[in-house]
């Protein structure tokens, strides 16, 4: 198959379609069914266990495991980007992490408290695979799309991801709520548990299967001749240092990254812990209502997020990216304060709707804003590696902060602490020098 030219509609659609393939992980594993499954495992132990020589709350444990996985991705990203740039095959690395994450999702089928370490390893590498593949996926954006196309195709990618992941989650939800219809036998609790485990397999197969369309059209890149040396392997870290040095010459990009680092820390943490928060802090009438209610909330978030990504793209074209990002961060502060006081299911549904409205928008707009602020260079992989490393380190800090506060004071105080990150992010975004470019 001949390589498609930059800006080609078929190439843009193939790139965006990877969001359709991989977003089932972030919805089913990170946000919806796995958190419910994980919470149900610990109900008989009052939510605590002794592991790694420590007596930990189950939600604090998963926060720390999540932080550890993001730390590994942050360390690996520069190494891999250096090698990928040298061999000219970002697609190969993207595919490796895709398969690592997908097969780890399938491995969650066997997650239980008797083999807790194996289960946590699968969860750990599922995260590593998902975020590792995104390092290379995001770096493709300026390679396949012209600047004036980037906001729209970035938003389209997120929208495809929300729609695709919702479709699979609806099937998984039906399987969890009506297991007998799908031929799953056993008591009500046993059948529901089996259905959730099967959904993990479905995620892995979906992720691998639909990603093949993306790989069919994404360019491989130009390889270099010569031996892969130590210098090449650590080239990614040198590139990060070079990018850091170039930030001193680009005040707008440097200040944007500062704001992004702080508010993204809070956004990603909220997204990763929302379902655990809802399972613990909302007064559900029964376990069945809790399962159904939490999944409905996640579905609601995804559906509203499609509208949110579209409205954010339209608003950015009218008001500029930075002003819209500031407005969205203000809204996030209000949501964090609201989360501190709610405890009823209907309040959680309303909160979920508002979260969905700003969740997709802030992710899509953050990615395209960064792409627009980059200096004119062919070395986009290094800049996006820096972007991804900053994001991952932020998540490490956010999850550790959340886990520590949750362990000693509870999740409501953790959420309120995250509101402070959004406020700091607003202040930092407001310090970005104004641009004569209308799009920013």
pLDDT in tens, 335-362: 999 999 999 999 999 998 999 888 878 8
- Average pLDDT, integer, range 271-297: 86
Structure tokens of 114? 């008797």
- Average pLDDT, integer, range 22-28: 88
Lowest-pLDDT range of 131-145, 257-271, 387-401:
131-145
Domain count, the chain: 1
Domain-located, residue 439? no
**Residues 28, 36: Cα–Cα separation, whole Å:** 10
- Whose tokens are 């078929």? That residue is 10
CB 344 within 8 A of CB 397: no
Helices 116-139 and 58-87, interaxial angle, to 10°? 40
Domain-located, residue 82? yes
Q: For residue 46, which phi and psi values (nearest 5 degrees)?
A: 60, 25
How many CA atoms does the CB half-sphere of 107 hold within 13 Å?
Answer: 19
Domain-located, residue 225? no
Which is higher by pLDDT, 437 or 59?
Answer: 59
- Rg of the chain over all Cα atoms, to the nearest angstrom: 21
The CA-atom distances, in angstroms, between 241 and each of 36, 48, 86, 220 are: 41, 42, 17, 26
| Residue burial 214-253, b: 16+ Cβ < 10 Å; e: rest | bbebbbebeeeeeeeeeebeebbbebbeebeebbeeeeeb
What is the CA angle 102-363-109, rounded to 5? 20
Domain-located, residue 436? no
Lowest-pLDDT range of 147-156, 259-268, 387-396:
147-156
CB 191 within 8 A of CB 185: yes
Residue 231 has pLDDT above 80, yes or no: no
Percent over 70 (pLDDT), the chain: 91
Residue 439 has pLDDT above 90, yes or no: no
**Most confident residue range from 81-90, 141-150, 208-217, 238-247:** 208-217
Residue 1 has pLDDT above 60, yes or no: no
Range of the domain at 150: 9-220+230-430
> In this predicted model, what pLDDT tens digit does every residue of 49-80 receive, in sequence order?
778 777 888 888 999 999 999 999 888 877 77
Torsion-angle region of 55 (φ positive above 0: left; ψ -120 to 50: alpha; else: beta): beta
CB 218 within 8 A of CB 14: yes
pLDDT at 45: 65
Q: If we measure between CA atoms, which residue out of 253, 260, 206 comes closest to residue 23? A: 206
**Residues 133, 81: Cα–Cα separation, whole Å:** 11
The CA-atom distances, in angstroms, between 280 and each of 79, 131, 406 are: 39, 27, 11
Q: What is the mean pLDDT of the chain?
A: 85
- Average pLDDT, integer, range 213-241: 71
Domain-located, residue 297? yes
Q: For residue 49, which phi and psi values (nearest 5 degrees)?
A: -160, 160
Confidence of residue 379 (pLDDT cuts 50, 70, 90): low
Domain-located, residue 3? no
Q: Where do runs of H (alpha helix) occur along 178-249?
A: 188-217, 230-233, 235-247
Residue 180 has pLDDT above 60, yes or no: yes
**Cβ-defined contacts of 35-40 (< 8 Å, 24+):** 35/62, 35/275, 35/276, 35/279, 35/294, 36/196, 36/275, 36/279, 36/290, 36/291, 36/294, 36/295, 37/111, 37/193, 37/196, 37/197, 38/62, 38/111, 38/276, 39/276, 39/279, 39/280, 40/193, 40/287
Structure tokens of 312? 């954010």
pLDDT at 391: 85
pLDDT at 224: 54
Give me the CATH number covering residue 356.
1.20.1250.20
pLDDT at 228: 58
Domain-located, residue 127? yes
Q: pTM for this one?
A: 0.82
Domain-located, residue 435? no
């Amino acid at each position: 198959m001949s390589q498609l030219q930059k800006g080609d509609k078929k190439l843009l659609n193939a790139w965006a379609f990877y969001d359709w393939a991989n977003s089932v992980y972030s919805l089913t594993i990170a946000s919806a069914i796995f958190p419910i499954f994980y919470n149900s495992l610990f109900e008989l132990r009052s939510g605590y266990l002794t592991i790694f020589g420590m007596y930990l709350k189950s939600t604090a444990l998963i926060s720390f495991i999540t932080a550890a996985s993001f730390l590994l991705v942050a360390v690996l990203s520069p190494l891999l980007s250096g090698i990928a740039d040298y061999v000219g095959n970002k697609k190969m690395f993207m595919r490796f992490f895709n398969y690592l994450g997908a097969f780890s999702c399938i491995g969650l089928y066997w997650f239980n408290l008797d083999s807790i370490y194996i289960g946590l390893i699968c969860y750990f590498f599922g995260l590593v695979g998902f975020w590792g593949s995104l390092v290379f996926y995001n770096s493709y954006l300026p390679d396949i799309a012209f600047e004036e196309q980037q906001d729209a195709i970035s938003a389209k990618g997120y929208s495809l991801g929300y729609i695709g992941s919702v479709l699979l989650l609806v099937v998984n939800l039906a399987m969890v709520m009506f297991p007998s219809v799908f031929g799953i036998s056993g008591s009500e609790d046993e059948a529901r548990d089996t259905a959730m485990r099967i959904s993990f397999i479905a995620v892995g197969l979906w992720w691998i299967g639909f990603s093949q369309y993306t790989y069919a059209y994404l360019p491989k890149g130009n390889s270099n001749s010569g031996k892969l040396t130590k210098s090449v392997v650590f080239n990614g870290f040198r590139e990060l240092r070079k990018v850091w040095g170039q930030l001193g010459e680009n005040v707008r990009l440097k200040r944007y990254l500062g704001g992004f680092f702080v508010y993204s820390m809070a956004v990603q943490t909220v997204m990763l812990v929302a379902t655990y928060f809802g399972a613990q802090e909302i007064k559900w009438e029964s376990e069945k209502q809790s399962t159904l209610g939490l999944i409905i909330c996640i579905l609601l978030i995804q559906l509203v997020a499609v509208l949110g990504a579209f409205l954010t793209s339209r608003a950015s074209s009218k008001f500029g990216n930075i002003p819209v990002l500031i407005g969205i961060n203000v809204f996030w502060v209000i949501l964090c304060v609201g989360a501190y006081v709610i405890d009823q299911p209907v309040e959680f549904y309303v909160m979920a709707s508002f979260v969905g409205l700003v969740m997709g928008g802030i992710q899509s707009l953050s990615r395209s804003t960064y792409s627009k602020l980059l200096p004119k260079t062919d070395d986009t992989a290094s800049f996006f590696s820096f972007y991804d490393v900053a994001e991952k380190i932020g998540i490490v800090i956010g999850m550790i902060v959340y886990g520590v506060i949750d362990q000693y004071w509870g999740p409501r105080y953790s959420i309120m602490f995250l509101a402070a990150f959004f406020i700091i992010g607003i202040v930092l975004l407001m310090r970005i020098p104004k641009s004569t470019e209308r799009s920013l």
